Structure 1
Amino acid sequence: MTLPSAAEKALLAFTALGGWEQRARLLMQWGDSLEPLSDIERSDEQRVHGCESNVWLVAEPRAGRWHFRAYSDARLLRGLLALLLARVDGLPAEELSAIDLPGWFEQLGLGRQLSPSRSNGLNAVLRRMQELIGT
């Protein structure tokens, strides 16, 4: 399975950094780059349940592939969402259902920073993506 170009870019950027503080700064920058969601898109229908923080997710088909946009009111989680979106954007449905989320964050050097609640929240987002596209 090849990585989407945004995921390749994330992998290069994060693995080039030495410590958690540098990765945390970069994580915040990635979170700031999320495409904004409108007030209408931040509705209960788009809210992902199973996250401690508020997370909203929108799925849009584009040329036979899926494009996702997400937002959270928690800054660190926005960065993690941006990295999740980079990993899954444009994948066909069958590849989306085979994503190894813990493995992806380990590759980025962020595995130890994923608390059980953050991990559960990101898994809830991935499950919601799969529900939205019908896998």
Structure 2
Amino acid sequence: MSQPVQPTKAQFLAATLNSDLQATLTLFEQAGNWQERYRQIMLLGKSLAKLDDDLRVDSAQVRGCESNAWLYHSEIDGLHYFVADSDARIVKGLVALLLIACNGKNSAEIRTFDPNSYFSQLGLQGQLSPSRTNGLLALAKAIKDTA
């Protein structure tokens, strides 16, 4: 039986979101209305690299998401890095928001990460459908569980 395919160390380190993504997050936080925030979420999603098809496997799929979403984790020098993707553009943008909050953090920082507070701070509370909110919380839980 062959070993499951994993992203390379370089892919995990490349997933630490660059300054362009951080600038997009700043624009997201400054957006004056929900439509502008939605647009920024879509832009965040576009900036995440697409996972190769051989990484889109059942074992990496996040349960609880209505859309398909895949998550990989690696601990490098005591810090946690995640590579994730989704087949839905809005979910991919929401995934990017989670990666901004969690990539490159230690276990204690991720354990204390409160996704509800984070999403509220970003103005997402009450803006997403219940199924999308549940999927986002499932992804946040998967990140916390792996770290």
TM-score, length of structure 2 as denominator length? 0.79
Cα offset, 1:15, TM superposition: 2.5
Matching residue's letter, 2:104: G
Distance 2:45 2:18 in 1: 17
Cα offset, 1:117, TM superposition: 1.3
Cα offset, 1:5, TM superposition: 8.7
- Is the 1:53–1:73 contact (alpha carbons within 8 Å) kept by the matching residues of 2? yes
Aligned to 1:47: 61
CA offsets 1:73-112 (integer angstroms, 9 cap, x no match): 1111111110011011111112112211121111112222
- Is the 2:24–2:40 contact (alpha carbons within 8 Å) kept by the matching residues of 1? no
Aligned to 1:130: 144
- Equivalent residues in 2 for 1:44-123, closer than 5 Å: 44-123=58-137
Contiguous gaps of at least 5 residues in structure 2: 1-16
Matching residue's letter, 1:33: S
Distance 1:63 1:12 in 2: 28
Matching residue's letter, 1:132: T
Contiguous gaps of at least 5 residues in structure 1: none
Distance 2:111 2:25 in 1: 21
Larger gyration radius, structure 1 or structure 2: 2
Aligned to 1:22: 36
Paired-residue identity, %: 41
Cα offset, 1:9, TM superposition: 4.6
Paired residues in the alignment total: 130
- Is the 2:48–2:92 contact (alpha carbons within 8 Å) kept by the matching residues of 1? yes
- Is the 1:51–1:118 contact (alpha carbons within 8 Å) kept by the matching residues of 2? yes
The one of the two structures with greater contact order (alpha-carbon pairs below 8 A, sep at least 6) is 1
